[in-house]
Structure 1
Amino acid sequence: MYLTARQGALHRFAEHSRAPRGELDRHFHDYEHSITVLVPSYAEEPGVVRQTLWSAALQEFPSVRVALLIDDDPEPTDPSVAAKLDATRALAGEIHTALLEPCERATAALEDFRRHAAAGDEPTDLLASLSRSYTEAAEWLEDMAAREQVNDHVDEFFVDSVLMGLARELRLTLLALTAAAAQNAAPAFDRMDELHLRLVRIFGAEMAYFERKRYASLSQEANKAMNLNSYISLMGGSWLPDQRGDALVLRPDATAGPVTEEGRAVLHIPDSEYLLTLDADSLLLRDYCLRLVYFLESSENSHVAVTQTPYSSFRGAPTRIERVAGATTDIQHIQHQGMTRYGATFWVGANAVIRKRALLDIQEVNTVGGYEIRTYIQDRTVIEDTESSVDLGTHGWALSNYPERLSYSATPPDFGSLVVQRRRWANGGLLILPKLWKQIRERRFRHEPVPFRELLLRVNYMSSIAWASFGLIFLLAYPYDSRLLSPLILIAALPYFICQSMDLKDSGHRYLDILRIYGFNLVLLPVNVAGVLKSIQQAFSGEKIPFARTPKVKGRTAAPALYVVVPYLIVAFSLLTLWRDFMDHNWGNAAFAAVNAVLATYAIHSYIGVRNSIVDVALGFVDWLFVAPKKPKQQTTERPVATPETTDWSTILYQGDRRLNRDLRGTGDRRRRIGVK
């Protein structure tokens, strides 16, 4: 499957033709549609979120609205958490304020140009003003880049590729304008208008933030999917925050103005033809929106619901584990391009441009706690993007990967945070397979072809972690001898290892990283198996698995002791196998065991660390021993008597008797435990 997808990727890269800048400007000159960038955030570092918001705000698109969807507890009790939350809330306003000056300057220059053009001035007379506008815009970006603090490789990428990358492109346009002036020539009026308009759009983004957990009428499920769904369900409407007892809810409001007659603020959330979902630790290059929306609006792509550039890793990571995890990410970029060649694209949730009307086709409406909850992106599994890909395909929509690297995202910097991420990735694929069979039946019912390669690639994507993990356990544990180890097996695997080494080199890594990735997969074996077993447990129990967000915080994240101990057991067992096969003169299996022992030892040393292993195992042992003390029962004498002056009458009228609800829930739990229906 790797070689098949790789072949498709090579075809796509060879056939791809980048749309010229002038064609993009022409297409979007009188453009009226908009795009809303949704950035879900939970307990993120404000500095990380800030860079993501800036990369979205500086997109060269006619109408961009950036919405930061904060999913933290809106009223934290910890002062440090509250301070970080306040800093996150302030980001949208800070970016909006910073953009005002260059936006107003570019808008004034555009209006001045159009006024002089209507008065009959010659294009050559207006060229100096256009050049001055581009000089000011480039200098503004360069000044901002100079003020940025560069503490790590992500900061360096933000400054060099996001800020200075845009500044360099503006300088390139300025070079063309300077050359035209030197030759006593000038672009046509329409082209100059497009160039002025480009500056207005670069600095003209709208910024906002939203906290769904403030409102009882929105889903309170702790996952990214429902954070996105809550905001999408409000788009295109006006909503009035209404305090009903102790619950704040949103109800539709037909008021045209920003406030009601009673003076209450109305929440207006504009609608958009396109949505861009963007993880809070990802960065976009300047023309991401422009090129992907242009791709969607081509006539041959009218059936495409989601397009994306599978994210690449930031270069120059300081830790070995971050570099090897980044290498696997960059390889996946190539694989996803090949999957598009054969119609087997899956949505990768770090970034994607989505047609909103496609999400309306797959929406589900449920009533939870008396409130209507709309679901577009399913949260039944923790890999919501993969499940949504299948849902969209069932309704006749296609997905596509754009064959350029236009988005970048962070990889976990330590083993503990990597465990959280990879265990989540390994969980859910098996659960979605029945939906894939349903999609295939629906497509065949519509007499649509289902190519065999597409089917194989899709099944491989969703279940390969399961069979590869258990297959690797078999290879490590089964005491086979030379009669079962044919040299043809090794020869058959050579094309895979050779091609992956070449892909690593082309992606900016090293040929020998293929061996580091093998050791990396050995230490991740217990993590992948745990994720697969969680999927099987969920299949039998029917309960949702809590969404575990990848920690994106400063400092090291401790790994569970089990995932630290098992890699050491793999090394010990490989050494035992090596000794046993050496004594039996079983040279083939001995060589295999030696390779596993060496690479797993290297991976433990490089990716986990011996000292970190000791700390994590000790912490796990202490957590296992620790038992929280029981709270002593409070000796209550006489219950306080509610008086008319102290009774919260509005909550009583709205909530009713909540104790009855708790009693019923307890009864339901007891019935489920004993199997009573």
Structure 2
Amino acid sequence: TEHMEDHVDEFFANQVLRELADDLTLISKALQMSIDEKEKLSNERVTQLYQRLVWTFQAEFGTFERKKYLSLSHEPNKAMNLNAYISLMGNTYKQVEIDDGILLEPTDEKNPDNFVVADSEYLLTLDADSILLREYCLRLVYLLEQPENEQVAVTQTPYSSFRGAYSRIERLAGATTDIQHVLHQGMTHYGATFWVGANAIIRKKALEDIVETEWENGITVKRYIQDHTVIEDTESSIDLTKHGWYLVNYPERLSYSATPPDFGALVIQRRRWANGGLLIMSKLWSVIRQRKNKNELISRTEILLRVNYLISIAWATFGLMFLLAYPYDGRLLSPLVLLSAMPYFITMASDLKYNGYNALDIFSIYGFNLILLPVNFAGVMKSIEQAITGKKIPFGRTPKVKNRTSASLFFVVVPVLIVAFSVFTVWRNVLIQNWGNATFAAFNAILATWAIIAYIGIGNLLTDLWLGLTDWLYVESKPKNIAKNTNAPEKRVDWKKIIHQGDIEGIKPRLFIDELA
């Protein structure tokens, strides 16, 4: 018996298991009624019902660890997990063991020890912290099977949050997630869909259309999904669009994903989300030019939605920093400027209400965004750093732990500085009777203070400050150098690796010849 520990377990038990049990119970009662009324079902329908039972309670599954195999890329990112497996699909491989690990070699021989990877027309991708409702695959594959959707490469239901969160920050972060579900449906309406990587049904033929093949470290690496950025799903959306494919959001809530339960875990997730959009902009402009040169219809609304999706975090971050820091007076802060922001807040309040939240949560979200300002800034600056250096960065996985994740010093100090600077701005503007700016600064100070108390916590804030300030005092102990045994035999040349992978370690031919001699 499994114990339910949190609201995610309750969701799985109620929405997946109990819903299935209720459905099967209903069918059982209907069958009993047909027997009582001496009605005979067709053989075809009886077969379908039996097949459903078999498929429900019997499944084959396996595990795959790409870093177990030397012939696959070991790049530390999420995209390469998918790329490695997709590149193996539809083939059988012999596992050749050498000193450093295992190599996979294509083979036609029938051997129970071979590694067999089945092929498929469609792929279902799912993050480890996500749950699908039972009709997800059935509905989305049916959508892709329709003749009018033969050029649809990816279909998905943008994930929603699990209701009943125990912490304030998880509940509010979930509210922003549920709003994004509505936004993504609107983007599909205007042809500006982006793949949201937590879940999707993907047409494998479309991935084969955008694959790039490279030779790295003596092995062939196929990139179906680009790993230049940590938002690989967003970049792949542009690649698919460039090759004439479409993406569609299915208008139902069929997928749910966990939201970070504390500020430290949220920092890691949101910093990753803020990184990469700027790097993909050049690829988007290339697609726009290509479509215009082909006289393909591309609306301004689609362009604006795509541009906003990629770089809104960047310009919103720098814009908010400017509003917080610039000493403007009443001539700049006119009623018209304030009124121009009203449509945004009214629309967000409406979406919150539609998703079952309180419309006044817009103020909590504003304060929430204030304390996330350093997080978004760090993500944007990492994009700029990548653009300059051309280096990839490892995928920062959102922690899935029961204990709290601590936040770095920078991310807990800056929210406090925002409050302090806002209070200072209030005091300075009251002295010069600049009431408009004083009111705005007071508004920021109050909401940021509330966000720190509610979403970080005073105790957690002090703990993370202490850890950040004292961390440099601790030095990780290193193992003592062990005297080298001069009598130990030298490492032998791995001839299997040379045959299968080539001289990737730079072994001198003369040394190899001497060993053979």
TM-score (norm 2): 0.93
User: In structure 2, how many angstroms separate the alpha carbons of the residues matched to 1:580 and 1:630?
Assistant: 52
User: In structure 2, how many angstroms separate the alpha carbons of the residues matched to 1:408 and 1:180?
Assistant: 37
User: In structure 1, how many angstroms separate the alpha carbons of the residues matched to 2:403 and 2:130?
Assistant: 19
1:574-653 matches, within 5 Å, as 574-628=422-476, 636=484, 639-640=486-487, 642=489, 647=492, 650=495
1:327-338 matches, within 5 Å, as 327-338=175-186
Superposed CA deviations along residues 403-441 of structure 1, whole A, max 9, x for unmatched, are: 000000100011111000000000000000011111112
C-alpha spacing 1:446/1:186, structure 2 compared with 1 (3 Å): farther
Structure 1 partner of 2:73: 219
- Cα contact 2:66–2:85 (8 A) shared by 1: yes
1:650, distance to aligned residue in structure 2 (A): 4.3
C-alpha spacing 1:175/1:641, structure 2 compared with 1 (3 Å): closer
- 1:208 alignment partner, SS class: coil
1:181, distance to aligned residue in structure 2 (A): 4.5
Note if 1:526 corresponds to 2:380: no
- 1:413 alignment partner, SS class: coil
User: In structure 2, how many angstroms separate the alpha carbons of the residues matched to 1:346 and 1:653?
Assistant: 43
Superposed CA deviations along residues 598-631 of structure 1, whole A, max 9, x for unmatched, are: 1111110111111111111111122233344677
1:633, distance to aligned residue in structure 2 (A): 5.8
Q: How many residues align?
A: 507
User: In structure 1, how many angstroms separate the alpha carbons of the residues matched to 2:504 and 2:183?
Assistant: 52
C-alpha spacing 1:447/1:319, structure 2 compared with 1 (3 Å): same
User: In structure 1, how many angstroms separate the alpha carbons of the residues matched to 2:237 and 2:198?
Assistant: 14
Structure 2 partner of 1:9: none
Structure 2 partner of 1:475: 323
User: In structure 1, how many angstroms separate the alpha carbons of the residues matched to 2:479 and 2:137?
Assistant: 55
User: In structure 2, how many angstroms separate the alpha carbons of the residues matched to 1:324 and 1:601?
Assistant: 16
User: In structure 1, how many angstroms separate the alpha carbons of the residues matched to 2:49 and 2:311?
Assistant: 49
Query: Which of 91, 104, 107 matches 1:250?
Result: 104
Please, which moves more after superposition, 524-533 or 625-634? 625-634
The one-letter amino acid paired with 2:268 is: V
Cα RMSD between the aligned structures? 2.1
C-alpha spacing 1:508/1:251, structure 2 compared with 1 (3 Å): same
Query: Which of 266, 275, 278 matches 1:418?
Result: 266
Could you tell me which runs of 5 or more consecutive residues in structure 2 were left unpaired when the two chains were aligned.
509-517
1:289, distance to aligned residue in structure 2 (A): 0.2
User: In structure 2, how many angstroms separate the alpha carbons of the residues matched to 1:445 and 1:273?
Assistant: 32
Query: Which of 244, 249, 252 matches 1:401?
Result: 249
Query: Which of 420, 424, 431 matches 2:279?
Result: 431
User: In structure 2, how many angstroms separate the alpha carbons of the residues matched to 1:621 and 1:468?
Assistant: 30
1:48-447 matches, within 5 Å, as 147-181=1-35, 183-255=37-109, 257-259=110-112, 265-447=113-295
C-alpha spacing 1:460/1:321, structure 2 compared with 1 (3 Å): same
C-alpha spacing 1:642/1:651, structure 2 compared with 1 (3 Å): farther
Structure 1 partner of 2:512: none
C-alpha spacing 1:631/1:179, structure 2 compared with 1 (3 Å): closer
- Cα contact 2:7–2:162 (8 A) shared by 1: yes
- Cα contact 1:284–1:406 (8 A) shared by 2: yes
Superposed CA deviations along residues 64-122 of structure 1, whole A, max 9, x for unmatched, are: xxxxxxxxxxxxxxxxxxxxxxxxxxxxxxxxxxxxxxxxxxxxxxxxxxxxxxxxxxx
Please, which moves more after superposition, 591-600 or 518-527? 591-600
- Cα contact 1:235–1:271 (8 A) shared by 2: yes
C-alpha spacing 1:517/1:292, structure 2 compared with 1 (3 Å): same
- 1:219 alignment partner, SS class: coil
C-alpha spacing 1:509/1:251, structure 2 compared with 1 (3 Å): same
- 1:601 alignment partner, SS class: helix
User: In structure 2, how many angstroms separate the alpha carbons of the residues matched to 1:620 and 1:460?
Assistant: 35
Please, which moves more after superposition, 585-594 or 327-336? 585-594
User: In structure 1, how many angstroms separate the alpha carbons of the residues matched to 2:497 and 2:354?
Assistant: 66
- Cα contact 1:177–1:186 (8 A) shared by 2: no
The one-letter amino acid paired with 1:341 is: H
- 1:206 alignment partner, SS class: coil
Could you tell me which runs of 5 or more consecutive residues in structure 1 were left unpaired when the two chains were aligned.
1-146, 260-264, 663-677
1:491, distance to aligned residue in structure 2 (A): 2.3
User: In structure 1, how many angstroms separate the alpha carbons of the residues matched to 2:507 and 2:405?
Assistant: 39
- Cα contact 2:98–2:497 (8 A) shared by 1: no
The one-letter amino acid paired with 2:393 is: I
1:165, distance to aligned residue in structure 2 (A): 1.3
The one-letter amino acid paired with 1:348 is: V
TM-score (norm 1): 0.72
Percent sequence identity over aligned pairs? 59
Query: Which of 454, 466, 490 matches 2:302?
Result: 454
1:347, distance to aligned residue in structure 2 (A): 0.3
- Cα contact 2:152–2:248 (8 A) shared by 1: yes
